[in-house]
Amino acid sequence: MPILYSFKRCPYAMRARMAILLGNISCEIREIRLKNKPEHMLEISPKGTVPVLLLKDRVIDESMDIINWVVAQKSIFASTNEEQNKLTEHFITIFDDNFKYHLDRYKYSTRYHDADLEHHRDECLKILIDLENSISNNKWIFGDEINKLDISILPFIRQYKIANPIWFDAQQKIIKIKKLLDSFVESKLFQKAMHKYDVWEPDTKPVFFPAE
């Protein structure tokens, strides 16, 4: 059985857990704390980020690679057209490279000296407005079925809202995104992905994901 090193609140780990759920894959899950990473995790992936998925024959330690590993064995997403595939790649890159950068400086402005909270908040908003103008007005980004783009970026948008929910709810240029986020947070998929586990210790009994 695969072993997944994970951290409940990490948006990269969330997207990996959702892909694993959609793929009906069972694994042993090891909840970690970023300040106290297990030795075994660092042995198999010295870069020290979660998620890390240990398979029989290899280690996958990038969240998008974990999603792509699930996709390679099971068709977990509705099919998309060329335009949607382009948007998917475009926005995943923008979120991983830009949105996350500004989100960290908005959310944790005290940790980053000189970070101008409003500037970083507004840079994220610009990306969201761009997304808003590229998507349909359905349950998920491309329609009624969940897709790779949904699980890849919604965990970050959720964090953005959490930084200041009142301000977020007042934004009028991201109506579709606000609706999308609400239905994402309420979805069974997300709730299952957020199951709470105790922190793993090398001598504790294995626990499994999804939880029984």
Ligand X SMILES: N[C@@H](CCC(=O)N[C@@H](CS)C(=O)NCC(=O)O)C(=O)O
- Beta carbon of residue 15, minimum distance to ligand X (angstroms, whole number): 8
Strands 3-6 and 59-60: unpaired
Question: Residue 7 or 200: which CB sits closer to ligand X?
Answer: 7
Tokens at 175, concatenated: 């109506």
- Beta carbon of residue 82, minimum distance to ligand X (angstroms, whole number): 25
Q: Which residues bind ligand X (CB under 6 A)?
A: 7, 10, 12, 34, 48-51, 62-64
- Beta carbon of residue 158, minimum distance to ligand X (angstroms, whole number): 13
For the chain, the C-alpha Rg in angstroms (whole number) is 17
Question: Residue 19 or 50: which CB sits closer to ligand X?
Answer: 50
Return the residue matching tokens 């957020």.
Answer: 194
CA atoms within 13 Å, Cβ hemisphere of 109: 12
Round to whole Å and give the CA distance between 147 and 1: 26
Question: Residue 11 or 23: which CB sits closer to ligand X?
Answer: 11
Question: Residue 10 or 135: which CB sits closer to ligand X?
Answer: 10
- Beta carbon of residue 141, minimum distance to ligand X (angstroms, whole number): 19
Return the residue matching tokens 């997300």.
Answer: 190
- Beta carbon of residue 52, minimum distance to ligand X (angstroms, whole number): 8
Question: Residue 47 or 205: which CB sits closer to ligand X?
Answer: 47
Question: Residue 5 or 77: which CB sits closer to ligand X?
Answer: 5
Burial pattern 66-84, b for ≥16 Cβ within 10 A else e, equals: bbebbeeeeebbeebeeeb
DSSP category for residue 29: E
- Beta carbon of residue 212, minimum distance to ligand X (angstroms, whole number): 26
Output the 3-class SS for 83-108: HHHHHHHHHHHHHHHHHHHHHHHHHC
Query: Quick check: helix, strand or coil at residue 46?
Result: coil
